Structure 1
Amino acid sequence: MMGALGNGRRGGRSPSLLVAALIACILLLGFNYWVSNSRNVELQSKILEMESRMRQLAADRDREQQSKLKAEEETRRQTEQLDLMEEAHQRQQEEALNTWKRERV
């Protein structure tokens, strides 16, 4: 009977150590989960911030491209006007020269 009681005590201690080890594992896993989750939230926040910056940069790029296109169109229009003015000036010079030549003859 004594042997049975002794075996019972050792058997009683093993489960309590096992329970303590399991609790320690659960606590460790819980802590690791909490750390991972916190890091995940931080990374998601950074991703959202970067996506916002990318949208802002894309909008800025589009505005600059539109501005560039408008400036190019304005330059083209002014160049055409300048060409027309130069042609008109050239015609006026030719007419004045022809008139002067006719008056001399």
Structure 2
Amino acid sequence: MLANKKVKSKVLILSSLMIFITCIVGGVGYFFISQSNESMNSMYKNNLLAIQYLNDARSQARAMEADLSYIILDSQRPINQLITLKDDKLCSYALNEDIKNLKVSLLMIN
């Protein structure tokens, strides 16, 4: 087939064939990379956000526990207790928000 062609023609035909094959490989790669990106975004939105909310709720609960211990141990200074109670209210609000966000994210999964 290529035996009777000039060298210039052979090089052009083989180069064109290689460019065509490279474009096909690139197109297939792009398709699967975009599909993988969609899957990772879905995994992040559905699974990892719930874990983040749980972790934040856990840290808020730990902070409230530490504040309660501080209030019990520091009974001599009521001003410090008031500051700690104010911080406790903020932690409680953040904990409630985390639980609400967790419920919403779990409803979105199902």
User: Which TM-score applies when normalising by structure 1?
Assistant: 0.44
- The two structures have a TM-score, normalised by structure 2, of 0.42
Between structure 1 and structure 2, the one with the greater Rg is 1
Which protein has the bigger helix share? Answer: 1
Point out which structure has higher relative CO (alpha carbons under 8 A, 6+ apart): 2
